Amino acid sequence: MAEAAYKGGIYVRSEQDQDTGSEDPYLKEILDVVFHHKEEGATAAVYETSKPTGLMNLQYFLGSVMENPKSDSKAKKGNKENTSGRIGPSEVVFDFRSNGGSGIVAVESHRLEVTSCSNFSTIRANCCVFKGKWVYEVMLGSEGMMQIGWCTINCKFFHEEGVGDTVDSYAFDGNRVRKWNKTTQRYGEAWTTGDIISCAIDCDEGTVTFYRNGKNMGKAFTNINLGPGYAYFPAVSLAASENLRANFGATPLRYPFARSYYFTICSTEKKDINKNNFQPNIGQKNNLNTKNMILEEPEIIQMCIYEKNESTLKLGDQFPEDSLLKTDDTSLGHHPSKSCTTLLVAAHLFDQLAPLLKNAYIVEQCLIKFLLRINSFVKEEQSLICNMFDLMWSLMQDFEIKGCMESLSVSLLSLYRFSPALPDFKYHKDYLNLLLSILHHQQTRRYLLSNVLFDKIKFAMFMHIKSPDDKQLSEFVPVIWFDLEKDVDKSIKEENDKNKQKYLKSCDQLQNSVQDVEKIQVEVLKKLMIHTDVVEQKTTRIIFMEKCRKFFKENSGLGRIQHGSLCPSSVILCMFHRLIQAVRFCWDKFQEEDPCRFVTSSDAYIPIHQFWSETIDYFEFQRCGGLISHVNRMLGSEVNKAQGLSAAGSEQLFLYESKNKVRKS
């Protein structure tokens, strides 16, 4: 009888079975589906010559396809990498040592996002260019005064002088809509939070050009200094509390139109990226009308869960009832079960893909797009996303899956924050729905919550909704309406009434779109507040409460001064608003268990004595109602009256005053 053995992270058949020559019909079917080929070119030749016919040549086939990406002229041109005109490491980040005495900046752990902690701070990247055409993108986390562009190593910056204020530095400021090079002139368009500014330099022609959300704003500077001693660094200057994130090419450009003319400064590993052009059909429908054979095989997930918990099984525990290693009796001979065969194919796939899934570029370019695609196929009880993550946690090494999870979270937040605002907020809803599906997976949810969402990224940003700028708002609400004076012509009044209907309809559509986004955000918080985890450790709700408490402490009172990199007040307000809705849901669900003792969230209120009691001390938050001395001085009679009406309040106030007397004595 044929058996499957687990060796080196991959299931392989026994030698006896390899020599039988019998063909597993289900294996042939799944290989035809998973590796169904639709394209032409060099990859097609590899498919024709080495298409897998069994598990024995599957590994060779995968290696052949990944080592022979598309080789047509167009692909070669797009994948060509130029490194002759740059100086610096392959991983390009902000060099926090470069700001010198030009203010204080808070740099995130990945060193791509910066926030100014001084009146005016400057920082540059750790790589420079002197020949060729180069570009990098800046994603604006705020819309205040910032000067972004290029500078040489000889530029010296101070608290009041930044990029563009010296002879050999060139910058654009969308807040003041001006370009800067020692002097200033009007240039470009006004920017807003969430915009993406592409900064391009041509070291052959001596020009600097800026793009706003992919739109060319024209050449800002010509005849810049070139030659020996002139190499230009990406550099940014920010006013107090301003924030931005740079993309030097470690992840795909949001507006890759520039790739036809410019190179990104970060020399991404093109070999690994080309390998991921190969995308097997493991989670999508195809023209063979076959189900998602890997992600919809129910017994695979049972086997994955068994493997994850294998080390905790006790003596006498039984293997799952429907064992994946059982065999099927068919006319062709004995073969492993369908689930076992499917898992064998998946193991081979992840053996090749897992090392690549730590790369941030590949995660954003390939993995997230794949997850968005399969997220549209929703099952009644469990989404395909959960099945996918069960496979990933089972078939990837610990360091591989954790690196992948961090890159996935960083890229997903970046995509959400800096996607263009559309009337229906399509992109924002897609990314939030993907986040929600990912959080449905218990092991992924607990790991992200414990190690990533509040530690490596700013989770609260997921609760914020990008506001449209004036131009976008004019497209969302094309007709404007306002009240007219009473004495107007009848024709004018009729026209104004028509405009009113159009205006209100546009406003309602926009409001409904925003509410749809808010609903998904609340669902995300509700998923983080569940307490039914099947583990003996802390529940998801407890972990979330601990992280929230730390988050509010860092973003309140003196904490905002001590921590440079904080969420803007508008983001915290959105987080608070969504959190209140999620708490209301949990409150009402708890109230349903004992309606006689507890009131609903709509009937809840703050006891009046809390407004003059100082027994609640939560970090540096201000008391509701002002200082106790102020309350007594301004509202003394009302307080005394309330004390008489509230026995509980009087008793609590008496205890508080007694404690104060003891402390003073």
Residues 6+ apart with CB under 8 A from 393: 304, 308, 401, 443, 444
Q: What is the pLDDT of residues 237-253, one digit of tens each?
A: 999 888 899 999 888 88
* Structural domains in the chain, sorted by start: 86-267 (2.60.120.920), 459-593 (no CATH), 605-664 (no CATH)
Q: Terminal CA-to-CA distance of the chain, rounded, Å?
A: 87
pLDDT (tens digit per residue) in 336-384: 677 777 778 888 888 888 888 888 888 998 899 989 988 876 654 457 8
Tokens of 291: 């189900």
Question: What does the block give as tokens for 237?
Answer: 């200057």
Please tell me the least confidently modeled range out of 239-243, 322-326, 347-351, 536-540.
322-326
* Backbone φ and ψ of 628, nearest 5°: -60, -35
Q: How confident is the model at residue 564 (pLDDT cuts 50, 70, 90)?
A: low
Q: Check pLDDT > 80 for residue 662.
A: no
| Continuous H helices in 227-297 | 270-275
pLDDT digits (tens, 9 = 90+) for 100-124: 557 777 777 788 888 888 888 899 9
Residue 348 confidence (pLDDT): 82
Averaged pLDDT for residues 196-221: 93
pLDDT band at 206 (very low <50, low <70, confident <90, very high): very high
Condensed to tens digits (0 to 9), the pLDDT of residues 25-38 reads: 777 777 776 665 55
Give 65's DSSP letter.
Answer: H
Selection from 153, 337, 125 nearest residue 244 by Cα: 125
Please state whether beta strands 133-140 and 196-202 pair in parallel, antiparallel, or not at all (unpaired): antiparallel
Kindly state the percentage of the chain with pLDDT values over 90.
33
pLDDT tens, position by position, 262-298? 888 886 655 555 555 555 555 544 433 334 545 655 4
User: Measured on CA atoms in the order 87, 90, 94, 100, is the torsion positive or negative?
Assistant: negative
pLDDT at 507 over 70: yes
Neighbours of 523 (CB within 10 A): 19
Question: Which residue intervals of 486-539 are DSSP H helices?
Answer: 490-527
Look at residues 228, 224, 230, 185 and name the one whose alpha carbon lies nearest to residue 201: 224
Q: Is 461 exposed, middle or buried (0-12, 13-18, 19+ CB in 10 A)?
A: middle
- Environment class of 610 (CB within 10 Å of its CB; exposed 0-12, middle 13-18, buried 19+): middle
Kindly report which listed range (152-161, 562-571, 593-602, 619-628) carries the lowest average pLDDT score.
619-628
Contact assessment for residue 206 and residue 222, using Cβ atoms and an 8 Å cutoff: yes
The DSSP bridge partners found for residue 245 are: 113, 139
pLDDT(218) > 80:
yes
Owner of token pair 């002097």: 183
In 169-247 the beta strands, taken as DSSP E runs, fall at 169-173, 178-181, 183-186, 196-202, 207-212, 215-221, 233-239, 243-247
**Residue 330: DSSP 8-state:** E
For residue 340, the model assigns a pLDDT of 77
Residue with tokens 């509410």: 515
Instruction: Count the residues in the chain.
Output: 665
Place of tokens 């988050």: 551
Scanning the structure block, which residue is given the tokens 């819309």? 143
Q: CA-to-CA distance for 624 and 606, rounded, in angstroms?
A: 11
Look up residue 262 and give its amino acid. Answer: Y
Whole-number pLDDT of residue 76: 44
Q: What integer pLDDT is reported at residue 106 of this predicted model? A: 78
The residue written with tokens 């209120």 in the block is 605
Give yes or no for a contact between 243 and 115, defined as CB atoms under 8 angstroms apart: yes
Query: How is the chain split among helix, strand and coil, in percent rounded to 5?
Result: 45, 15, 40
Predicted local distance difference test score (pLDDT) of residue 447: 95
Q: What is the pTM of this model?
A: 0.80
pLDDT digits 0-9 by tens, 416-454 = 999 988 889 999 999 999 999 999 999 999 999 999 999
Checking 367-373 for CB contacts under 8 A at 24+ apart, the result is 367/404, 367/408, 368/408, 368/411, 368/412, 368/415, 368/434, 370/279, 370/283, 371/434, 371/437, 371/438, 372/430, 372/434, 373/283, 373/284
Q: How far is CA 30 from CA 26, 44, 202, 291, 513, in A?
A: 6, 19, 50, 10, 41
How many CA atoms are closer than 13 Å to the CA of 263, on its beta-carbon side? 21
Give the mean pLDDT of the chain. 77
**Higher-scoring residue by pLDDT: 225, 51:** 225
Q: Which two tokens stand for residue 419?
A: 């996607």
The arithmetic mean of pLDDT across residues 499-525, rounded, is 94
Residue 225 tokens read as 């200094």
pLDDT at 77: 44
What letters, b where the CB count within 10 A reaches 16 and e where it falls short, cover 423-439?
A: eebebbbbbbbbbbbbb
pLDDT at 18: 46
Query: What is the CB neighbour count within 10 angstroms for residue 79?
Result: 15
Calculate mean pLDDT across residues 286-314. Answer: 45
**Residue 232 DSSP class:** B
